Structure formats: structure tokens, C-alpha cells
Amino acid sequence: MSAHRTAPALVPRPTEAALRPGHFTLDRSTALHVGAGAEPAADLLGSLLAPATGLSLGPSPDGQVALVLDTGLGGLGEEGYGLTIDPHGVLLRAAHLTGLLRGIQTIRQLLPPQALSATPQRGTRWLLPCVDITDVPRHPWRGAMLDVARHFQPVSFLRRYVDLLALHKINVFHLHLTDDQGWRMPVAAFPKLTEIGGHRAASPQGPAGSDTYDGVPHGGAYTRAELAGLVRYAAARGVTVMPEIEMPGHARAALAAYPSLGNHPERTLDVWTRWGVCDTVLGVHDEVFDFCRTVLDEVMDVFPAPYLHIGGEECPTTEWTHSAAARERAAAAGLPNPGALHGWFLGKIGDFLVRHGRRPVCWAETGAELPPDFTVMTWRDPAHTLTAARRGHPVVSAYYRATYLDYAQSDAPHEPPAQPGAVVDLRAVHAHAPVPEEADAQAAGRVLGTQAQLWTEFVTTPAHIEYLTYPRLCALADRGWSGATDWADFRSRLDEHTARLDALGVHHHP
């Protein structure tokens, strides 16, 4: 830690932090004082520090490192914590277990970066600087979306991905499980979703519209046990996994598996081998809603998260316009035209989820078109955040020019292939204010926060995912957790934080 600092170089920046002279040293004599209900936090701290330090940090009533739950600490909310380190001990306090889990990530960052290594680090003294920290997040939603539909990733990598989210106090892992090019979650009643829908014959080379293909089949699906295990693993780190099942568009993989769900039941379709927006969408007949409800029942079984994302964007309505059955459905439902079936479809599914105690989430095209129960993710334009919030929707700001990590992070020629049309540099991510300036207090209060998106049309490997994600996710975490706007301060903290990413072996952008 540099000598001139008055606050430690943490990412995200804590609300209040003051360095004091002196250190506390973790060594073989250090034990944990584990307050009632804090056992999961003690387990996490022990398991995170053991590989590098070799310390076992067992429990003891007079342990020097105290983890304490105190529901009287009202001002800290669900995720806040207080951390005091003096030469004699460490006191981490929170009102909820999640707050302790956040504080543990801070303790990790306060140690020398070698503490984050996966292998034993001999010859390092495990010094914690004396510090007083009170830390409460600015926004309750700090998310990261990973698209495993375009390119499948093994669950072992998803666990590592969750570890890195937790380090940055990102609390929502949005898992994009289905799309035109692949369906990755098994559903017992519809085995062909993964057997057929989980595999495509080839991938395009180049952006949407490209006519050259790699000729290499791509596929993969998780088991239910893997997904349930991922949910538990993330929960132990204070991260919620929010699944996304796309409907009624971006559903070509499901249509390849079950053509009767489409608008032309006699047609056979392949799992899409193009990128972009696909014209083939789900039909609007009863069988489709039975299918969606059955799928979502299983999704709710595996994913206990309150929020469940059903996609909803980029749904061409041409097939409905040309289908007599869809036109009849629209008329019977009293809709002005088949295009209105889009909102009607989402409304039916949203009602179903609400009846089951869940909160439906959708991508907004404009912020003005979704049924009222939806939490919306605005991605096309920051103005949509305001539109949606003023209509009463809870909103997560996902503006593409600040949060889409599939765009290159610089215009340098050595950058790997990326989504064309924009550069999203580190500074743009850090500068992104989730709450629009024009928002009044009521609208501002509906903005839950922000999240990063990594669509993977051009991204096939874990190393490439990490290259695109870091350090840009550090910037998003900083802005989302602390509201920090000082770019120079972030840059200087990031310089020290980079040593932590290196110790973790993260393949980050230089």
C-alpha cells in the first residue's frame, strides 16, 4: 500500500475508510471469534485464505478476528458492514450475513495481493493495515451478465467467474441460458431442448450478416445438479444467480427442438448458425404457454432468486402478422394488431411468474412498452431508464455504450475481434451514472443499479471472457457500489488492484 494514502486502495471504494498507523498480523496463532449466525462467513473467510496462507483460522471464543452479526446495526442494510482493524484484532460487524460476506472481500483486498493466490505463498507476512471502514452500497443491484448460449462454458469456469464477481461486491450473476444459437438448461419434460437445441452445426465468422462459417459444431448443456450447485456456490459468496430464458424471440434453438411451438408447425429449423435478430419466434397458441410455464416451473425449482429474466427483446412480429392463427389470437384478446401480441405474451408470462412469487425481468426496447409488473433492463438509450422509471418500473441500467463488454475496450489494432460499431473504454464504464440526471426523487428511487453485459458471439474461451471483463467490471463495481465519480482516484486504486487480479491469474486487459 503506498505511503501517501489516507484510505486503502480498495475496489470498489468503501463509503468511509480511514487508515491508521500499525498493522494486525494473521499468523498460526490467529483464531476466529464467530458470532451466532456468522458461521457461513467464517467458512468463506477460512476457505478463501487457506490456499495462499496455509492458515487454518479455526474458531475460538477469544479469537482475535471477530465476525459478528448485530441486527441492531440498522443503517448498514442488507449488504453494509463495519470493519475495524487495530494491532490487537479485527472486528467485522454487519446486520445481515450478506454484509459479513462483503466485509470478508474487503479483508482479502487489505492483505498483501499474494493472499489471493491459489498456491501456497511462503515468505509473505500476512499484515492487515489498521483501518476503520463503514461501507454501504449506493445501489442494491450491481450485476454481470454472461451469455453462455452463444458459446457454452463449463460450470467450473462459472464458479471462477462468481469468485471474481464476489471479490468486486457484484451481487447479481445474470446467466443468459438460451438464445437462437443454443439452449443450455435441461428441462425434464422437454429433453430435446438440450439434446437438439444445445448444438449447432457451425458458427459464423464475423459480425451479424456474415456469410462465412467456421464449419465447427458447437454445443453443450449443464446438468440440473451443476446449475443447482452453482446457485449454492454463489449464495455462499452473497451472489444471486438470475437465470434468463428468452421468449418470445431469440428462441430458435427451442423451435429447432420442438417445431410445433412455432408459427409454422410443419417446418423444420436448425439451431441458428447466424448472429443477429432471427425472424422465427414462438407462436401464440396454447401449447406455447403450456411449454413456457413448464419450463419456468423447472427454472424456478433450480433458481430460487426472486428475479427471473425472460428476455423479451428483439422480437420481430412478421410471423404473427402472416399467421391466421396469430391474427385470430390478437383479435380474440382485443388487441389492435398482431404486433401487440408481444406485450400480451410478456404480460401472460409475467402474471404467471408474479403468481409464483417471482419478479419478472425483461430487456426494454424503449422503456415504454412493457407490462407494469416487469423490472426492466434498459440497454439502447439512457433516456429509456427515465421513461421506464417514470412509468413505475424498477430499472437496471444496462446502457450498451457503457456496460456492453463485447465491444472492444480500445480502438488499437491488436484488440481481438469484437462487436463492431463502438468502443467501450474503461473510462466510459466508470463514467456511467445509472440514475439519469433528470430523474426526480421518485424515479431515481426506482433505479436499482447497473450491470455489465458480455454477449459471446465473438468470445469462445474463458481467457477471452476475462480479457473483456477485467478491468472494466472493476469500474462498473466501483460506480455501482460506491457511486464513486473520481476517475483519477479510481485509476490509482486500480493500479494496486491490478496486483490482486494478477495474483488470481486473471487474464485481464493491460
How near is the Cβ of 230 to ligand ACM at its closest, in Å? 23
27 flagged as catalytic? no
Question: Is the CB of 425 or the CB of 457 nearer to ligand ACM?
Answer: 457
Q: Which residue among the candidates 168, 250, 309, 508 is catalytic per the annotation?
A: 250
Sign of CA dihedral 471, 476, 479, 481: negative
Q: Is 470 in the site for ligand ACM (CB under 6 A)?
A: no
Question: Is the CB of 309 or the CB of 464 nearer to ligand ACM?
Answer: 309
Cα distances from 3 to residues 9, 124, 492, in angstroms, run 11, 19, 13
Question: Is the CB of 222 or the CB of 379 nearer to ligand ACM?
Answer: 379
- Do residues 475 and 452 lie in contact, with contact meaning Cβ atoms separated by under 8 Å? no
- Indicate the residue whose CB is closest to ligand ACM: 363
Grid cell of 425 as nine digits: 473504454
Residue where the block lists cell 454477449:
455
Q: What distance in Å separates the CA atoms of residue 476 and residue 101, rounded to the nearest whole number?
A: 20
Q: Is 481 in the site for ligand ACM (CB under 6 A)?
A: no
411 flagged as catalytic? no
How near is the Cβ of 379 to ligand ACM at its closest, in Å? 5
Q: Is 314 in the site for ligand ACM (CB under 6 A)?
A: yes
Q: Which residue among the candidates 86, 314, 373, 415 is catalytic per the annotation?
A: 314
Selected from 163, 195, 270, 313, the binder of ligand ACM by CB under 6 A is: 313
Helix (H) or strand (E) holding 65: strand 65-69
Q: 362 has which bridge partners?
A: 376
How near is the Cβ of 277 to ligand ACM at its closest, in Å? 8
Question: Is the CB of 126 or the CB of 379 nearer to ligand ACM?
Answer: 379
Q: Which residue among the candidates 79, 135, 179, 466 is catalytic per the annotation?
A: 179
Measured at the alpha carbon of residue 350, what is the angle toward residues 349 and 353, in degrees to the nearest 5? 90
Question: Is the CB of 49 or the CB of 282 nearer to ligand ACM?
Answer: 282
Cα distances from 463 to residues 68, 76, 117, 285, 505, in angstroms, run 38, 36, 17, 43, 10
195 flagged as catalytic? no
Give 290's contacts (C-beta < 8 A, 6+ positions apart): none
Question: Is the CB of 222 or the CB of 363 nearer to ligand ACM?
Answer: 363
Give 355's contacts (C-beta < 8 A, 6+ positions apart): none
Selected from 307, 379, 481, 490, the binder of ligand ACM by CB under 6 A is: 379
Output b/e per residue, 474-493; b: 16+ Cβ within 10 A.
Answer: bbbbbbbbbbbeeeeebeeb
How near is the Cβ of 279 to ligand ACM at its closest, in Å? 15
Burial of 140 (0-12, 13-18, 19+ CB in 10 A): middle
How near is the Cβ of 120 to ligand ACM at its closest, in Å? 43
Question: Is the CB of 92 or the CB of 454 nearer to ligand ACM?
Answer: 454
Site residues for ligand ACM, window 62-121 (CB under 6 A)? none
Sign of CA dihedral 233, 235, 238, 243: positive
Site residues for ligand ACM, window 260-289 (CB under 6 A)? none
Cα distances from 337 to residues 252, 284, 313, 315, in angstroms, run 23, 13, 18, 15
**How many residues contact ligand ACM, by CB under 6 A?**
4
How near is the Cβ of 384 to ligand ACM at its closest, in Å? 12
Q: Is 363 in the site for ligand ACM (CB under 6 A)?
A: yes
Q: What distance in Å separates the CA atoms of residue 480 and residue 482, rounded to the nearest whole number?
A: 6
How near is the Cβ of 396 to ligand ACM at its closest, in Å? 12
Positions annotated as catalytic residues are 179, 250, 314
Q: Which chain residues interact with ligand ACM by CB under 6 A?
A: 313-314, 363, 379
